[in-house]
Chains A and B, each alone.
Chain A
Amino acid sequence: MPHVAQLDTVRADIAVSLNSVTKEYVQWQRSGKMKDVLRNLVNPEKKVVSALNDVSLTVNKGEFVAYAGANGAGKSTTIKILSGILQPTRGEVSVLGLRPEQSRVELMKRIGVVFGQRTELWWDQPVAVSFEWKKVVWGVPEEVYQRQLAIVTELLDLGDLLSTFARELSLGQRMRADLGLMLLHDPELIFLDEPTLGLDVLAKRQMIEFLKRINREQGTTIVVTSHDMDDLEEMAQRIVLLSHGQIAFDGSFNQLRELTGSLCRVRLTFLGDVQALPCGNLLSVTRTTSEYEFDTAVTPVKEVLAEIAKLDGVVDIEIRKAPIEQIVAELYTRWKR
């Protein structure tokens, strides 16, 4: 009995579980030539594409997980499966202990989903009216609604937007309004598919800060997909990288860096003309500055510093980790091969 109790406790901590999930699509193939039109009508050529291939993944409650991958890696498909829009071809899916395809209605009351390129706002109504609509359709209790409304209005700076027609909002404003709408029922788990797509720096910052805050303060579990690795690193504690429908990496951002070696960058500023550093790869150079990349596993920082000390006229040294974008790009290239 204690063993069972233990299992239940473990299960209760799990927000998302994918077990050997495979998702296949059928794609219609077309040559685009008029002469093939009639043949296509009678006997269309089809191809089976594997969007997800035997994916297993667990996300615990309270986690903030970045779900990344190149275009077509299967990110959106996963989000759609998790939110019950699509069914997997094979495998088991559990979200907050429920099977999305069987308990869709119950699940939707507990999760929130935002697709960055779509909106749930009623386009010819002011934002506040969409919020009212959400309250009724989701059956949000008055106190929860008022509390959440106050939170999202303040944190997402929605005050002025509430009385604006949705179709007249800019993209950044619309995303903020959509996020606010999604949070009105106080979901335990949030899926965000490319929420920062097309946002300017300020809007992006606002959104990232907001997501971090609700994860930290309300314990909301968040799974977010994005192409912007720097954004993801800033938001999430854990990154799951998909490649060709399979999980290629699952761990922290630091562990991800170690995958490609411990790449670091050093930027040197000279009083006069630049001088060459004998270790590392030269990335860029101007008359007074140069930037090198080196792998700390091969050349420890101590050695690099010793080499720099031998140079004349160095007035500034800046050492930092290689951007996560570069690490991931390198991994994508490797996986492509």
Chain B
Amino acid sequence: MVANIKRIFQLWGIYAKLDLLWFLRDTKYCVAAIVSDIVTNLSALAGVFLLAERFGNIGGMSSDQVLFMLGYACVVDGVILMFFSMNNVAWISRLIGRGQLEHRVTQPVPLWMQLLTEGFIPVSGNSMLLCGLGITWYALSRLATSVGSLWVLSFLFSVGCSVAIILSFSYIFGSIAFYAQVAGEEISTTAIGLFGALKTFPIGGLSLAAKTVLCTIVPVGLAAWFPANVLLGQAPQSLPQALLLIMTITLALAAATMFRKGMKHYATRGSIRYSARGHRR
């Protein structure tokens, strides 16, 4: 256990170094990356503020509460981008569909550890997380919510669960690419895309049945709406408070099972295609 944790930090270290070197490799590219970040984040933030403005006081949430939920959603996106975006770790169907898992299998590191660490880009991938934290902080400053250490811990825990839910969803559908490499190559993109803007809508006004579906089978509501409301002290009455944890465990187990099954299929059938990772050909 201790050895594994040490190893994870060691691997995060090397990936952080790779990212730093990539980011600073050339002035032109460094400026391009910064400009891209600014444009991307401005667009995302503009969307967030516009939605807060439009949907404030809808679904039982005030404008500031909606803004907090949107900040939370940005933090969740930011964590995924910072920890799981390099080499398409979050968009697992691309790795499978392009036959690139073979590059992982030849490394002397357990696959789960590789997937946990190799997507880490703390330098080039931190902007969304920072923006999300900024919006969250701004929204909190306008709300009466008391923020203590326990609250911060539950915030971190909830973000972890929301991230795990989105990634599990991506892996559950992404495992389809083991069986249909061409047709399934982009399925994780669609799965993650489902959460996209939908997770930032206040769904409190929907019927109980719809809310239940959105917090279980199609867990869009668990990516921001449900945990944000719990953190704001107005947990949805009709749904159990432990729902986030229960669904995180359920989906993570389902993803692990599907992925393991897919890996078995992969080991027996092999990959029918391979596309290089961007090298000159």
Q: Which residues of A contact B (CB under 8 A)?
A: 25-26, 77, 80, 83-87, 89, 101, 104-109, 113, 117-125, 129, 132-133, 136-139, 166-169, 174
In the assembly, what is the distance between CA of A86 and CA of B267, in Å?
4
Q: Are A167 and B280 closer than 8 Å at their CB atoms?
A: yes
Q: Are B109 and A105 closer than 8 Å at their CB atoms?
A: yes
Name the CB-closest residue of B to A120.
B103
In the assembly, what is the distance between CA of A168 and CA of B25, in Å?
14
Most buried by B among A80, A108, A125, A137: A137
Chain B positions 6-29 with a Cβ under 8 Å from a chain A Cβ? 10-11, 13-14, 17-18, 21-22, 25
Chain B positions 80-106 with a Cβ under 8 Å from a chain A Cβ? 102-103, 105-106
Chain B positions 228-281 with a Cβ under 8 Å from a chain A Cβ? 267-270, 274, 276-280
Q: Are B270 and A25 closer than 8 Å at their CB atoms?
A: yes
Q: Is B110 an interface residue (CB 8 A)?
A: yes
Q: Are B13 and A105 closer than 8 Å at their CB atoms?
A: no
Cβ of A129 to closest chain B Cβ, rounded Å? 6
Q: Is B107 an interface residue (CB 8 A)?
A: yes
Cβ of A197 to closest chain B Cβ, rounded Å? 13
Q: Are B279 and A167 closer than 8 Å at their CB atoms?
A: yes
Question: In the complex, which of the residues B102, B269, B278 contacts A26, with contact meaning CB atoms closer than 8 Å?
Answer: B269
The residues of B that contact A139 with a CB separation of less than 8 Å are 108
Tell me the total A-B contact number using a CB cutoff of 8 A: 81
Answer whether A124 and B274 are a contact pair too, CB < 8 Å, given A89-B268, A137-B14.
Answer: no
The residues of A that contact B108 with a CB separation of less than 8 Å are 104-109, 137-139
Q: Are B11 and A136 closer than 8 Å at their CB atoms?
A: yes
Q: Are B268 and A86 closer than 8 Å at their CB atoms?
A: yes
Q: Are A87 and B14 closer than 8 Å at their CB atoms?
A: no
Q: Are A113 and B106 closer than 8 Å at their CB atoms?
A: yes
The residues of A that contact B269 with a CB separation of less than 8 Å are 25-26
Answer whether A174 and B279 are a contact pair too, CB < 8 Å, given A106-B108, A108-B107, A122-B18.
Answer: yes
Name the CB-closest residue of B to A130.
B18
Q: Are A118 and B276 closer than 8 Å at their CB atoms?
A: yes
The residues of A that contact B22 with a CB separation of less than 8 Å are 124-125
Answer whether A84 and B18 are a contact pair too, CB < 8 Å, given A119-B276, A167-B280.
Answer: no
Cβ of B17 to closest chain A Cβ, rounded Å? 7
The residues of A that contact B110 with a CB separation of less than 8 Å are 105
In the assembly, what is the distance between CA of A6 and CA of B152, in Å?
64
Q: Are B11 and A108 closer than 8 Å at their CB atoms?
A: no
The residues of B that contact A125 with a CB separation of less than 8 Å are 18, 21-22, 25
Cβ of B268 to closest chain A Cβ, rounded Å? 6
Answer whether A129 and B105 are a contact pair too, CB < 8 Å, given A101-B267, A105-B110, A119-B276.
Answer: no
Cβ of A26 to closest chain B Cβ, rounded Å? 6
Name the 8 nearest CB pairs between A and B, nearest first: A108-B108, A136-B14, A109-B108, A87-B267, A123-B278, A105-B108, A123-B279, A85-B105
Q: Are B278 and A167 closer than 8 Å at their CB atoms?
A: yes
The residues of B that contact A123 with a CB separation of less than 8 Å are 277-279
Cβ of B270 to closest chain A Cβ, rounded Å? 5
In the assembly, what is the distance between CA of A119 and CA of B281, in Å?
11
The residues of A that contact B109 with a CB separation of less than 8 Å are 105, 137
Name the CB-closest residue of A to B114.
A137
The residues of B that contact A137 with a CB separation of less than 8 Å are 11, 14, 107-109
In the assembly, what is the distance between CA of A132 and CA of B20, in Å?
14
